[in-house]
Structure 1
Amino acid sequence: MGVRRLAVGLLAAAATAMLLSGCTGDGRESDCDSAGGIVECAPEQRSAAPKIAGELLAGGSYDVVDQRGKVVVVNFWGSWCAPCRAEADDLENTYQATKDAGVTFLGINVQDSRDKAIAFEEGRVSYPSIFDPGSRLALDMDIPPNTIPATVVLDREGRIATVIRAAVRQEGLQPIVERIAAEAPAPAGQR
């Protein structure tokens, strides 16, 4: 049991280090603020998100590139995850409160069966979710599947602005989303 706990701790530390270096333009972790499982990067220190595309639970396909110009809140979740169930209302309420400000939400379902994922979402959230049972998108984002739920906020240019490695509450998430939505776009030469 002790070895397993140590291995999980080392994996989480390594993932956090990779995530922090991904937020910075020059690899300096100190350029991003990190506290309480939340990593926030200033606009000039943000890096582009990896490709986020796939098959939607409800059918059809999704590519985050089509959302350029909007703030995109990406939430990694599973029907088997108790904290995911606890945060679902807060995510939906934040989505409803911010969508008129050019904000959209996307769920990414991991390590699940399609039927369980669809049943979980029904009546809980109105935004789409990508079906990613192999957790490929989470791993591409340096979010190990054992840290689900996780929420990533992309700015209007598709860059990683904030990563939250815990269940979210509306009173914590909404101010972050509103702050990123209120940012002025970067001048063309700085994109």
Structure 2
Amino acid sequence: MNARRWTAGLLAAVAAVALVGCTSKGQEKACTTSTDGIFECAPDQRSAPPKLAGELLAGGTYDVSQARGQVAVVNFWGSWCPPCRAEADDLEATYQATKGSGVSFLGINVQDSRDKAKAFEEGRVTYPSLFDPSSRLALDLDIPPNTVPATVVLDRDGRIAVVIRRAVTQDELRPIVERIAAEKPASS
């Protein structure tokens, strides 16, 4: 009998977390989506900036609000994820090509061990990554990524402009980042 209660409780908890992860406070519906897993939000449809902060893989802490005034590209990844390996060079190339125009990149490592994540990053990317083994940071987004890999582009005000729910290439990411970087901040 205790096993049934425990199982029922566990299932209820999983369902509650799944529902929280799938709800988007109406934001997802306000944005346009394409058939290729890209959600784009017009400037007047973007909600308040998400809170994304935590411990860096390399040590120390980071809060994405430190990037306010810049476009922030946030990539959710895991060392265990083959598409993450495939997109790492494209992300780094986009970072190198756009960082001079006020663009920052941040990785968020999920469902991983610190050692494996550090080994994965070494020699692949030069931008920092938060360590989020429980994948809790994604729940703070109005449009949750729902997949790994996923890339979220925040505008200069820190609001979600684009969510890409799949691996991305430099040829498709760079024009998106450059377009968002060319926008005037709402706060100006």
TM range (shorter): 0.7 to 0.9
Letter in 1 for 2:94: T
Please, what TM-score do these two structures have when normalized by structure 1? 0.83
Q: How many residues end up aligned between the 2 structures? A: 167
Q: Which runs of 4+ in 1 moved over 4 A?
A: none
Unaligned regions of 5+ residues in structure 2, if any?
1-17
Q: Distance in 2 between matches of 1:84 and 1:19?
A: 24
Match of 1:79 in 2: 79
Q: Give runs of aligned pairs for residues 39-58 of structure 1, distance below 5 A.
A: 39-58=39-58
Match of 2:145 in 1: 143
| Structure 2 residue 96 is the aligned partner of structure 1 residue 91 | no
Report the identity percentage: 70
1:49-100 deviation digits (Å, cap 9, x = unpaired): 3210000000110001111100000000000000000000000000000000
Residue 114 of structure 1 deviates from its aligned partner by 0.2
| Structure 2 residue 63 is the aligned partner of structure 1 residue 22 | no
1:11-59 deviation digits (Å, cap 9, x = unpaired): 79x83xx348225xxxxx2x42210100001101001232100000001
Letter in 2 for 1:149: P
Q: Distance in 2 between matches of 1:116 and 1:87?
A: 17
2:72–2:105 CA contact under 8 A, matched in 1: yes
Which has the larger Rg?
2
Q: Distance in 1 between matches of 2:41 and 2:73?
A: 15
Q: Distance in 1 between matches of 2:177 and 2:26?
A: 22
1:20–1:39 CA contact under 8 A, matched in 2: no
Match of 1:173 in 2: 173
Unaligned regions of 5+ residues in structure 1, if any?
1-10, 24-28
Q: Distance in 2 between matches of 1:74 and 1:187?
A: 21
Q: Distance in 2 between matches of 1:92 and 1:20?
A: 32
Match of 2:152 in 1: 152
Match of 2:121 in 1: 121
SS at match of 1:73: strand
SS at match of 1:54: strand
Residue 139 of structure 1 deviates from its aligned partner by 2.5
Match of 1:5 in 2: none
SS at match of 2:44: helix
1:151–1:163 CA contact under 8 A, matched in 2: yes
Letter in 1 for 2:114: R
1:155–1:180 CA contact under 8 A, matched in 2: yes
Q: Distance in 2 between matches of 1:82 and 1:56?
A: 22
CA change 1:19–1:150 in 2 (3 A) is farther
2:145–2:151 CA contact under 8 A, matched in 1: no
CA change 1:157–1:127 in 2 (3 A) is same
